[in-house]
Amino acid sequence: MCGIAGYSLSTRSAVDRTLAAQALLAGIAERGADAVGYAYRGPEDAYPVVTKQRTAASKLLDRISVPQPATELLVHVRDYTKGHPSISANNHPVRHGPVVGIHNGIILNDDELLAPHRCARSEARMTVDSEAIFALAAHSHNDARVLEDLDGSFATAWLDARLAGTVFVARGAGRPLWLGASKHELFFASTRAALEVVERYAGVKLRKRELKMGTFLALCAGRIARDERFRPDLSYTDPIALPAVRAPQEGLSCLARLAALATL
C-alpha cells in the first residue's frame, strides 16, 4: 500500500512550492517506508527533475527543494510488492521512455504488457510492475482507454516529456485518490487527510472530492483540461489485504517536522 500525491499549479499561484511538496509528503508518509521520491518541472520544461532514495519519508522531508517557477509535482512513498527497493529503478518516480510516473497498487500482467517494448526494464534487474502503466501511457500518447488493459489495482499519476504543462491522474480499481481544487491550484493525494495537511501549511482552501474508479484527468495550470472515463476491472480484489497505514511512526514524525519547518 503506497502513497501518491502531487499538484498542478497556475503560474499565478502564490503557493510556496517546496512547503506544499513537504506537506504532501508528510500527509502520505504513513503509507510506506521502503522508499521515497518526488519529481517536479516548470511549465516550459520537458523532462522533470527526479529525486528518489531507499529510505522512509522522514529522511527526505528536510531536503526537498522545489523552485518557485515549478508548476507540476509528483510525490511517492513506497510499501513495495514487486520490484525490490534495493534496485533504484524500481522505486518511484518510475521512468518509461518519455513518461515519468508514480503508482499505488498492484499490476498483475505487467510482464505481458511490457514484452513488446524494447525500452522496457531499462536497468538490470528492474522488475517493478508499475512500469506497465507508464508504458501504456507512453505508447498510446496518454489514451485513457489503454488503462483498461491493466489487470490489478491502481491510483496513478505521470508526466509526459512530449506534453509540457500537464499532469495526468487516473484512478482504477481498489486504490483511493482524492482531488483538492482552489483558485489557481489542483492537488491530489491518496487520502483526504493529506489534502487537509496541505490546507494547513500551504495556506489554501480546497474543495475536496474522492475520484470515482475509472476516472482519468489531465491537469493543466491548476485546471482540469480533460475529464474522461475508462472501465477498470471492478471485480479485482488484492490476494492479501494490506492496511492503509503501513508506517504510522513515519506519519507522526513527518508531521511534527513539518510543523517545525513551517515556522522557519
pLDDT at 46: 93
Question: Structurally, what CATH architecture does the domain formed by 3-261 represent?
Answer: 4-Layer Sandwich (3.60)
In three-state secondary structure terms, 98 is: coil
- The DSSP secondary-structure symbol of 79 reads -
Burial letters for 13-42: b for 16+ Cβ neighbours within 10 Å, e otherwise? bebbbbbbbbbbbbbbbbbbbbbbbbbbbb
Cβ atoms of 115 and 128 closer than 8 Å? no
Domain ranges of the chain: 3-261
Sign of CA dihedral 217, 218, 224, 227: negative
Give the model's pLDDT for residue 238.
83
Grid coordinates belonging to 114:
511490457
DSSP letter for 211, please. P
> Per residue in 140-150, is it b (16+ CB within 10 Å) or e — as a string?
eebebebbeeb
Torsion 256-19-92-85 (CA) sign:
negative
Cell 510556496: give the residue.
16
Q: Phi, psi at residue 115, to the nearest 5°?
A: -55, -40
> Is the pTM above the cut of 0.95?
yes
Cell numbers 501549511 correspond to: 201
Reduced to 3 states (helix: H, G, I; strand: E, B; else coil), residue 254 is helix
**For the packed helices 192-202 and 248-261, what is the interaxial angle rounded to 10 degrees?**
10
| Average pLDDT per 10 consecutive residues for the chain, totaling 264 residues | 96 98 98 98 95 98 98 97 95 96 96 91 89 97 98 97 97 96 98 98 97 98 98 86 89 97 90
pLDDT number for residue 122: 78
DSSP label at 126?
A: -
